[in-house]
Amino acid sequence: MPSPGNLLALLGVATLTLAGCSSGSGSGSSGTVAAGGGGTLANGKTFTMAIGTDPGNLDPHQTVLSVTRQVDRFLYGRLVEQDADGKIVAGLAEKWEADTSKATFTLRNGITCADGTPLTASDVAANISYIGDAKNKSPLAGLFVAPGTTATGDDAARTVSVTSGAPASFLLVNLAYVPIVCGKGLTDRSQLAKGGGGTGMFTVSEIVPSDHYTFTRRKDFTWGPGDWKSDQPGLPDTVTLKVISNETTAANLLVSGGLNAASIAGPDQDRLAAQKLFHVDSLSPLGMLWFNQAEGHPTAEAPVRHPQGRGQHGAQRGALQDRLVGHLDGSRHDRSAQPGGSLPVRPGAAGGRQLRARQQRRLRRRGEDRQ
């Protein structure tokens, strides 16, 4: 089974992830197949993957957009990670303890930032306190870090102590989703907007908005996930993320060798499956629904965000649904990224039934394929 590190470039994709093979030059992996595909791991080389839209501002503390968080995974480390089985493993921290209100982390020794400066416990603590401070309006507050959460760092002992702003049954797991940036990025967040101030395995080497993002691997990176070694096999020296909004275009590039990986959710799955490319299937349910609670949006009101039961609340629920639909259909519909949540989602039972029907058809088709 491939290690979490070998899967780093595939994190965040959904439905059907395919890896193409190329026997020629260019961005392919010289005829090798991804781990788990029955081939040989390629060392060095360039790994090229499609992303569906431009990620925009890369500041990891000011976004909940899935494509941006996917891109940031290459650039920013986390205190702890989760392996394929959901087990918490070491990341930037080598040891940790947590209950529902407090957590303590001991950082690995020798962690450095992308510019070579040391990452201190105080830097890490400032990351968490920044998100927990309501004045910073981080959309991660209330998702992974409770509002009012604070943290302190002991640089000599390399320990970070976190006090949650509210009891959290999954405090450790929640903190595992928090990207950690370096101290200079905290004082100058314009660096973060372009992917600077990183603690991750890769650094930004080129950005052409709406076209591609190119990252270079740090050869000194040794801090996770898990028991990590700098000479870990199967790592690319360069990662290029191409912005390709059309799935058919991405599928064509997979077949021709212009891409190494892409997420395909539409009808192109069938013809790609016939090519027998190495792929990973995953279900794509609706997932988490995040509401924009910023002032001026209908979901700023608690009754809109909380599901209403039947009976005496039925009329209220219908009125709120009508209000949401009216907001989405009206001139105030804003499809740009907003602080505090993701893009609005049109409610309605019909849409839910259609989604479930598509999922059921997909499951039936996969079941027939396996028989």
CA 230 to chain centre: 23
Least-confidence region, from 36-50, 124-138, 264-278: 36-50
CATH number among 2.40.50.140, 3.40.50.720, 3.90.76.10, 3.10.129.10, domain 78-185: 3.90.76.10
* pLDDT at residue 308, as a whole number: 55
What's the mean pLDDT when you consider all of the chain? 78
- The predicted-structure confidence for 315-341, as pLDDT tens digits, reads as follows 555 555 555 555 444 433 333 333 333
Kindly indicate whether the domain formed by 8-52+201-281 is annotated with CATH number 3.40.190: yes
Average confidence (pLDDT) over 145-153: 97
**Domain parsing of the chain, residue ranges:** 8-52+201-281, 78-185, 298-354
Q: Which residues pair with 239 in a beta bridge?
A: 47, 215
Q: Strands 80-82 and 278-281, how do they pair?
A: unpaired
Grouping H, G, I as helix, E, B as strand and the rest as coil, residue 203 is strand
* pLDDT at residue 303, as a whole number: 78
pLDDT band at 79 (very low <50, low <70, confident <90, very high): very high
**263 or 341, which is more confident:** 263
Q: How many helices (H) and strands (E) does the chain have?
A: 10, 15
CA distance 112 to 114: 7
